Amino acid sequence: MKVFVTRAIPAKALENLTHSGHEVEVSKFDRILTGQELIEKGKDCDAILSLLTDKITPEVIDQLGDKIKIISNYAVGFDNIDVAYATEKGIVITNTPCDEVNESVAEMTWAMMLALARRVVEADQVTRQGAYKGWEPAIFLGQLLRGKTLGIIGMGRIGGMVAKRAKGFEMQVLYSNRSRDEKAEQETGAQFVEMDQLLSESDFLSLHVPLTDETRGMVNKEKFDKMKHGVILINTARGPIIKEQDLVEALRDGKVGGAGMDVYENEPIINPELVAMENVIMTPHIGSATHEAREAMGKLAVDALLQTFQDQMPGNIVNKDVWEKRRK
């Protein structure tokens, strides 16, 4: 089988793929490929190992040719792929959900929450600039997490892990989800509430929903107006869930007291007003960037390819309905 990997990934699993006896080509560019570059290299391949930055549209799928059997996406999300069209064409789509990724993103969420609550980044910058002249009683006052309310939008695997860690800080946890999750409530002590109540009572608010037509732009002016004044907002999910200009205005007005952003509405372009704000922490989409997560993701992505080649349905298949009518 012929496989094209759109970008080198930091995982030992890639070595297993290149030594598997299949014809494997890894992109020589350490950057995002253009659509045309992806088509030129992926055309007539049996499989593509893609990244979340690869936009695999119906047009790209058509031009890749009729040999493509599987697109293994090195990411938990798969909003970069038109899954419905791929299914229609008989192409298997897989992703890389695993506890290592969930733990990494959950820990990143807490890192941002703590850093914003205690103004760590601001204090670090001032100290590095030589402005620290000695202890002062009112310098960089932050807030305790103990006794505060954490609101979680999306009680999936990552949201649940974030909620579990709130116990250690003795925080009350509210969550909003498409449906109530009694198992998560038993494990975390979280309380299921309607969205309006969650917004009005949360001191900290964390987003953990996938990007869909329903969630795109869901955190907007209407939602900000309902939030508790001074709320700290964390987004380690997907950037387009938040309307960034509405967030800028909420930060400017003090409605949002601080924001932790690992993802952006028009990634990698960032609203310049956000960049200029001291109460905003910005990171370059590194929520799952741990050695453990990247290795686990690589193994899942490669295993999915090899299993499909052996006519074994991968456990991490996204479009299970395609299996019986898949390309062989």
Which residue among the candidates 7, 119, 208, 238 is catalytic per the annotation? Answer: 238
H-type alpha helices, 167-230? 182-188, 195-201, 221-226
Active-site annotation holds for 285: yes
Q: Strand order of the sheet with strand 92-94? A: 23-26, 2-5, 47-51, 70-74, 92-94
- Alpha helix locations (H) across the chain? 13-18, 35-42, 58-64, 83-88, 99-117, 120-128, 157-166, 182-188, 195-201, 221-226, 244-253, 272-275, 291-309
* Whether the Cβ atoms of residue 107 and residue 114 lie closer than 8 Å to each other: no
What is d(CA 253, CA 248) in angstroms, rounded to the nearest whole number? Answer: 9
Q: Which of 107, 187, 249, 267 is catalytic?
A: 267
Whether 324 sits among the annotated catalytic residues: the reply is no
Q: Give yes or no for a contact between 86 and 64, defined as CB atoms under 8 angstroms apart.
A: no
Structure tokens at 190: 């979280």
Determine whether 12 is exposed, middle or buried from the number of CB atoms within 10 Å of its CB (0-12, 13-18, 19+).
Answer: exposed
| Contact status, residue 236 vs residue 113, Cβ threshold 8 Å | no
Cis preceding-peptide flag for 268 (omega within 30 of 0) = yes
**Residue 45 DSSP symbol:** -
Could you give the dihedral angle defined by the CA atoms of residues 242, 162, 177 and 148, in that order, rounded to the nearest 10 degrees?
A: -80
267 belongs to the catalytic site = yes
Which among 285, 292, 295, 327 is annotated as catalytic?
285
Q: Which positions are annotated as active-site residues?
A: 238, 267, 285
